[in-house]
Amino acid sequence: MSGRRAVAALALLVVAGAAWGFVRETTVTGFPDQGKCLWWSTRAITFKVNTTSAATPPGGRAACPDCEPCYDAAAAAALIAQAVPTWSAATRTGEGSACTDLAITSGGATTSTVLGNDGQNLVVVRNGWCSQTTVVPLGDACRGAVGACAAKYNCWEHGPSGTIGLTTTTFETATGRILDSDIELFGWDGTASGTGFYLTCAASPSCGQSPKATKERDCTAVDLASLSLHEAGHVVGLDHVDIATAVMQPIIPTGSVRRALDADDVAGVCTVYPKGAATLTCGGTSGGDAPGGGGCASAQGAGALTLLGAALALLRARRRK
Amino acid sequence: MRTSLVLAGLLAAAPALGAEAVALSVEGLARASDAVVRGQVTRLEATASPDGLRIYTLVDVQVAATWRGGAAKTVRVIVPGGVLGRIGQRVEGAPAFAEGEEVVVFLSGAEAGAYRVAGLAQGKFSVAGVTAAPDTRALRISTRQVAAGERPSEAMPVADLERRVRSVP
């Protein structure tokens, strides 16, 4: 194969959506190859944290001290507030400063339980399924309306989902510009066989097999920092990748932590929000077009573009010889 | 030639997006469900929460068969996220439905006389021919293990899926 043909073949593969490198979220959930990519038009994102669901649950629910994440709501809030801004410190290997100027900062603690398009980015720990009568009384009017109970009772409305954390991102459909992004985490309800997850703050050692039953403390079960950092990646606009060491890898075994960004995570945030340069949008909107026309049509990250660039450089070098 | 080899090497070194790990089993999903139905999606409608801040998609499914529990001829399923006018909301892990789609859905009783999908994306299978498959691309962190003898939420023959659901006491 000639060099030119090889480059053409490679370009075709890249354009066709060869799946690798960081992936951007789009306006179509679950389909990174469809829709517009999501992006913030601001480089300053503020979020607030609510970890009070167990200690002071709203709606007349009984307090559950044992349900507090890390057995200490304040410590849990502090850890989340520390973990989420990790994305702002994304630094490439060998460089001394961050490659992005996206500033994610904590706005402090809040008792707000409201998610959605209110301009307030929130990280909130929920407790109990909203469908449970022990959580939301049968006669409560919120049961008659879609999506009315979760904020009122700070409960998990997604039922038995096996999901620990969810990010809800509100965006403009025409541009993909993010307007608001909120994180829900599903905390334990305090019973040995109950709902929710054992959220912990300690980075080690790993908890035993049944930390809920033994109420084991100072160990790692579902690491709140790792979980928050992953969800914050979605807030930034990144999707899942199948790279074992990446924060945006969707699976993390119980008892393990992943509190540092991987090179692919760094590439993601620094490509979309490069320090001192325009935001990489899907094109045609403020912030500049996608370089090389890559954009989000194939939802590929810098990796694909870099690969194509390497191929072109090789071809040019060949020509110079 | 050398160029081709280098390019081949670069391509081979590129990591690939692979299959997602699965956290819930079919049997576990069935146990967690109030009903499991097979049917066809007849209608999608976006709606807002009472405070106007959240968007949900209401999915009507015409039930062809009830594999577990009891269900009406048509069930309404609440899916978080959707599009209302110029505003969209994306919720990671939420299942996607399409009008006319044949589905198997694990249902959990919810508000407004409707259901939620148990297991979110893991609890909705799209049926094509004799195969049913969940769309688990949007799965996220989960730590549960699938019990021995149970099968993860993954593509399988519809008949196998039905047998597994019906086998759960």
Taking each helix axis from N to C end, the angle separating B2-13 and A3-15, rounded to the nearest 10 degrees, works out to: 20
* H or E element in which residue A84 lies: none
Chain A hits for B7, CB-CB cut-off 8 Å, are: 6-7, 9-10, 311, 314
User: For residue A243, which amino acid is it?
Assistant: I
pLDDT, tens digit, for every residue of B124-144?
999 999 999 997 765 543 444
Residues B72-101, mean pLDDT to the nearest whole number: 94
Distance from CA of B1 to the nearest CA of A (A): 6
pLDDT at A1 over 90: no
The complex's ipTM works out to 0.83
Angle at B151 between CA B147 and CA B156, to 5 degrees: 175
Q: Are strands A165-172 and A103-109 parallel, antiparallel or unpaired?
A: unpaired
pLDDT band at A301 (very low <50, low <70, confident <90, very high): very low
Least CB–CB distance from B53: residue in A21, A25, A115: A115
B99 in A contact zone (CB under 8 Å): no
CA dihedral A85, A89, A90, A91 (to 10 degrees): -170
- For A216-227, b/e burial (b = at least 16 CB within 10 A) is eeebbbbbbbbb
B108 in A contact zone (CB under 8 Å): yes
pTM of the full structure: 0.83
pLDDT, tens digit, for every residue of A268-286?
999 999 999 999 997 533 3
How many CA atoms, within 13 angstroms, populate the side-chain half-sphere of residue A278?
Answer: 12
Least CB–CB distance from B110: residue in A159, A166, A222: A159
Quick one: residue B41, left, alpha or beta (phi over 0 = left, psi -120 to 50 = alpha)? beta
- Tokens linked to A276: 């001192």
- Tokens linked to A184: 């829900």
Of A137-141, A225-229, A285-289, least confident by mean pLDDT is: A285-289
pLDDT band at B50 (very low <50, low <70, confident <90, very high): very high
Q: Are strands A103-109 and A44-50 parallel, antiparallel or unpaired?
A: parallel
A160/B119 Cβ within 8 A:
yes
Its CATH class, for the domain covering B17-167, is mainly beta
**Alpha carbons A25 and A299: distance in angstroms, whole number:** 8
**Alpha carbons B160 and B25: distance in angstroms, whole number:** 13
All structural domains of chain A, each given as residue ranges with its CATH number in brackets, are 21-299 (3.40.390.10)
Of A126-130, A242-246, A247-251, least confident by mean pLDDT is: A247-251
Report DSSP state, residue B55.
E
How many CA atoms, within 13 angstroms, populate the side-chain half-sphere of residue A30?
Answer: 20
Least CB–CB distance from A19: residue in B17, B108, B135: B17
> What integer pLDDT is reported at residue B67 of this predicted model?
98
B14/A307 Cβ within 8 A:
yes
Domain boundaries, chain B: 17-167
pLDDT at A221 over 50: yes
In sequence order, what DSSP letters do the residues of A155-204 get, joined into one string? -BTT-S---SEEEEEEEETTT-BEEEEEEEEEE--SSTT-SSB-EE---S
